[in-house]
Amino acid sequence: MMTDISPGLILIIGALLVPLLRGRARSLFMLALPVLAFVHLIALPYGLSGELEYLGLNLVTLRVDRLSSLFGYIFLIATLVSVIFALHIKDVVQQCAALIYAGSAVGAVFAGDLVTLFVFWEGTAMASVALIWARGTQSAYRAGMRYLIVQVLSGLLLFFGVLLNYRATGSISFEAIGLETTAGVLIFLAFGIKCAFPLLHNWLQDAYPEATVTGTVWLSVFTTKLAVYALARGYAGTEILVPIGVIMTLFPIFYAVIENDLRRVLAYSLNNQLGFMVVGVGIGTQMAINGAAAHAVAHILYKALLLMSMGAVLYRLGTVRGSELGGLYKSMPWTAGLCIVGAASISAFPLFSGFISKSLIISAAMEEGYFWTWLMLLFASAGVLLYCGIKVPYYAFFAQDSGKRCEEAPPNMLAAMGIAAVLCIAIGVMPAVLYSVLPYAVDYNPYSPGYVVKQLQILMFSALAFILLMRAGLYPRPMGSVNLDFDWIYRRPGRSMLQSLVSLWQLISSRGTKAMTRTVSAFLSRLYRHHGPDGVLARTWPTGSMAIWASLLLAAYMIAYFV
C-alpha cells in the first residue's frame, strides 16, 4: 500500500533512476521527485504504518505525527529549492548523492523505531560525504575523510546504544529515551555529534566550506536539523541541553567575527542558531518545543539562502574570502538583495522568519524562570547581527570596491534564492501559517509591542556597535589567516600519533618480512639439499641397500602387527 511507503524512499529510489536520464528529462525528473514526495506526505494519515518483521524485530518504517510531518515538509521544500539551485550541475554523482542524502534524512524523520533510524542515519553520512569530495581538491578530500570518520563514529554510538537499549528493555521503539541508562547516554552522544555540540562541532566548520558550491547548501539543510529532530523526539526536557545550547549560541560569535572565509562564517553561525534550538528542546515545554521546531524551519530557509548567495559568488569569482571581495553589488545586484533578506532573517528583524521563531524560544526561557539563559540568548541574538547579519553582505557586496567584476548569478540560482527569500518574508509576515503546523497548539503573538520594541533596540544597539567599532578600527578586518579552533588540540597530536603508528607498523612489517624471508629461504635450502639433484633422497641407491631397507621395514611391520 502507498500509505506504507516513506516519502524518503521516493527520493532514494528516484535517485537510482537519475543516471538513466539525460538533459532536460533528468532535470524535470529531479524537480518532480520532491514534489511527488510532498504530495504523498500530505496524503499520509497520522499513525504508525509500514510495519515489518526482520530478525525477530518489529520495525516501524513510517510514523506520521505533527512533529515528523513538520520536519518532512521543510526537508522536502528545501530539497526542491536545492535541486533548482543545482540545475546547472551535470555531475550525476553529485545529483544522486544529494537525493539519497535528502531521502535518508526524510526517512529518518519518519522512522518509528531505532533500527530504522540507524539505517537512514548512516545513509545520510555515506551519501553526504560525496558532496564534499566532489569538489575535487586535496583539502576537500582530507576534510571529507575527517567528516566521514566523525559521522561513522556517531553511527557506531547509535548502534551500540540501540543494542544496549534492546538488551535492557526488549524494545527498539523510538520514543523518549533520557539519560538514566548507558544506552541513553550513548544515543545522546550520537545525536550530539550530528548536532555539533561544543567540542564535537569542528567537523562542521571543517567540512561544509570545503564542499562544492551546491553541496554546502544541501549539507546545511539536513544533518544538523535531523539531529535537532532526534533530540526533540528522544530527549525533550533533558536539563543538560539548556547549558549546552547556551554555549552553542555564544562561542561561535568570537570565531565568526575574525573569520575571513564567508562560508566558514556561515558555518559558525549555523552552530549559533542550533544552540537556540537545543535550548528549546532542553526546556521541553510545549512552547519551547514549538520554538525549536519553528526555528529549525526558519533556519533551514534563511541559512540556505545565505549559503546560496555566497555559493553564487564562489561560482562566479572562485573565492568567498572577505579580504578579496567588495563592491559586488554592482555586478550581482539581485544576489546582493537576496542575501540581505537572508541576513535580516537570521538577525531576527521583525517581518522576517527568524523573528517569529526565535521569539518563541526566548519567551519560553523567560516563562520557565531561566533568567540567565534568557539573558544569554538576548546577547547571542545581538551578536548574530554583528558577525553575520552585517558582516556577510557588507564584506561580500558593499565594502571598499575590490575591482572584481562578473556576471550575475545564473537564472536557476536566482530562482532558488528568490523562492527561499519569499518564504522567509512570508513566514515573518504571516506567522500563523507556520504556527498552525507546529507540534502543539500555539497561543502566542510575536508582534506584541513590548517584544517588537525590545528586539528593535537589540538590533539597533548591535548595528551601532558595528559602526563605532569600524570607525575606531577595532572591528577585525578580514585577512588571509587560519584561525585555530578546538580541533587543533586533537588534529595535530592525532596526525603525529598516526604518523608514529604508520612508522612503527612499517618497521615491524619490514622486520617481520625479513624474518619470514630468512625462514622460508632456510626451509627451501634444506628441502633442496635433500631433494635436489645431488640430494640424499634423489640419489640412485644400490640394490643391496634397497633390499636391506625393505627387509627392515617389513620386519618392523610384522612385529607391530603380531604384537
Backbone angles phi, psi at 480, to 5 degrees: -75, 90
Please determine, for residue 420, whether its predicted confidence score (pLDDT) is greater than 70. Answer: yes
**406 pLDDT tier (thresholds 50, 70, 90):** confident
Q: Residue range 448-453: average pLDDT? A: 88
- Do residues 301 and 427 make contact, with C-beta atoms less than 8 angstroms apart? yes
Q: How far apart are CA 378 and CA 428, in angstroms?
A: 19
DSSP string for 164-229: HHHHHHS--B-S---SSSHHHHHHHHHHHHHTT-TTS-HHHHHHGGGS-TTHHHHHHHHHHHHHHH
Other beta carbons within 10 Å of 243:
16
Q: How far apart are CA 422 and CA 338, in angstroms?
A: 9
Q: Which residue has the higher pLDDT, 212 or 563?
A: 212
Residue 74: name the closest of 303, 414, 270, 333 by CA: 303
**Residue-wise pLDDT tens digits, 284-327:** 999 999 999 999 999 999 999 999 999 999 999 999 988 888 88
Please determine, for residue 385, whether its predicted confidence score (pLDDT) is greater than 90. Answer: no
Q: Where are the domains of the chain?
A: 236-485, 505-562
Q: Which residues pair with 60 in a beta bridge?
A: 51
Tell me the residue type at 417. M
Residue 377: name the closest of 365, 391, 390, 394 by CA: 365
Among 112-121, 156-165, 315-324, 521-530, where is mean pLDDT lowest?
521-530
Residue 358: name the closest of 421, 441, 439, 444 by CA: 444
Please determine, for residue 275, whether its predicted confidence score (pLDDT) is greater than 90. Answer: yes
Q: How far apart are CA 302 and CA 51, in angstroms?
A: 36
Q: Which residue has the higher pLDDT, 458 or 10?
A: 10
Please determine, for residue 6, whether its predicted confidence score (pLDDT) is greater than 70. Answer: yes
Looking at residue 488, its pLDDT comes to 62
DSSP state letter for 478: P
Q: Residue range 86-113: average pLDDT? A: 94
Of these ranges, 201-215, 293-307, 443-457, the one predicted with the greatest mean pLDDT is 293-307
Give the ranges where 385-441 is alpha helix by DSSP (H): 391-393, 411-429, 431-435
Q: How far apart are CA 327 and CA 311, in angstroms?
A: 17
Q: What is the mean pLDDT of the chain?
A: 87
Please determine, for residue 536, whether its predicted confidence score (pLDDT) is greater than 60. Answer: no
B/e letters for 393-425, b = 16+ CB within 10 Å, e = fewer, are: bbbbbbbeebebeeeebeebbbebbbbbbebbb
DSSP string for 18-36: GGG--HHHHHHHHHHHHHH
Looking at residue 508, its pLDDT comes to 73
Q: Residue range 418-425: average pLDDT? A: 97
